Structure 1
Amino acid sequence: MTICGQIVREFCDLMVSRDAEKLRPFFADDAVYQNTGTPATVGVEAIVTNLAGQFGTFPDSYEYKTINLAADGNVVLTERLDLIRTPSGVQGVPVMGTFVLENGKITRWTDYWDTSLPMKMMTGQDVSALVPAIY
């Protein structure tokens, strides 16, 4: 695995700590983080604040389960299940992520996912057909 791949895997594995400050060192000062369909979060301060807010929204569960990771130069692609606690228990939101690194720091992070899926999960809808089996 490339060094960029190792950095992104470590970053994703650290999500279980639910501590945005522990993630701060992974970002370049002017990094950009964006979930599809939402405005970009620009700058490490704003990204750390954003992540802290996500952890607060799901106070007792937050973890990334990396299914696949591919790295080509300074670009790393992840296929993940982002685990959250719902009334039905812990469920995984399928996410494809793109990370771009420069000098060992994340400069751009874009996640692609169905932004309506967590609300369906939180309201108890059966989403089993929408979440791929882990292989």
Structure 2
Amino acid sequence: MDDAAKIKVVTDMIDAWNATDWERVVALFAPDGVLHSVMSAPVVGHAAIRERLAVLSDGLESLDIRTKAVGVIGGRVFVERLDVFDVRGNHGEVPVVGILTIEDGLVTEWLEYYDRATLLSGMGLTADFAH
């Protein structure tokens, strides 16, 4: 795949998140794809990703992933973004860097880097949710 095609997959993924179309999100992962918030254990495969999405979307009232920069370095897509969300009456804004490996039009690995305390605070949580 060329760089533009890889970026298109990532753009489609962000659009699916913004639409809260969780089945589309799962479908954009390879069957053995990895979603890894690096401060927690990686989630591997469609069933596990679907379970993680259920936890993340519990009580979600709105989501706006705002892309600041996107580019391909070393064959992987790097995305700087701001995730803006409302969950159970709480408002959060979390700066995130995602690094995605795309093969054959699907995400094979998605690494997420953000401050977990900022995410939890934005969600109105004082303790971590299950991962």
Coarse TM-score class (shorter-chain normalised):
0.7 to 0.9
Letter in 2 for 1:24: V
1:116 matched to 2:101: no
**Stretch of structure 1 that moved more, 11-20 or 32-41:** 11-20
Instruction: Report the alpha carbon displacement of residue 63 of structure 1 after superposing the two structures with TM.
Output: 2.7
Partners of 1:74 and 1:102 within 8 A in 2:
no
| 1:69 corresponding residue in structure 2 | 70
**Stretch of structure 1 that moved more, 21-30 or 58-67:** 58-67
Instruction: Report the alpha carbon displacement of residue 104 of structure 1 after superposing the two structures with TM.
Output: 0.9
Change (3 A) 1:87 1:49: closer
Partners of 2:62 and 2:87 within 8 A in 1:
no
Change (3 A) 1:122 1:85: same
Unpaired runs of 5+ residues, structure 2, are: 125-131
| 2:128 corresponding residue in structure 1 | none
Secondary structure at the aligned position of 1:37 is classed as coil
The Cα offsets for residues 73-109 of structure 1, whole Å up to 9 and x where unpaired, read as 6410000111111688643210000000111110000
Question: For 1:35, which of 37, 50, 62 is the aligned residue?
Answer: 37
CA distance in 2, matches of 1:121, 1:73: 33
CA distance in 2, matches of 1:86, 1:51: 14
- TM-score, normalization by structure 2: 0.82
Instruction: Report the alpha carbon displacement of residue 15 of structure 1 after superposing the two structures with TM.
Output: 0.8
Change (3 A) 1:45 1:89: closer
Identity fraction in percent: 27
Letter in 1 for 2:65: Y
| 1:94 corresponding residue in structure 2 | 95
- TM-score, normalization by structure 1: 0.80
Which ranges of 4 or more aligned residues in structure 1 deviate by more than 6 Å? none
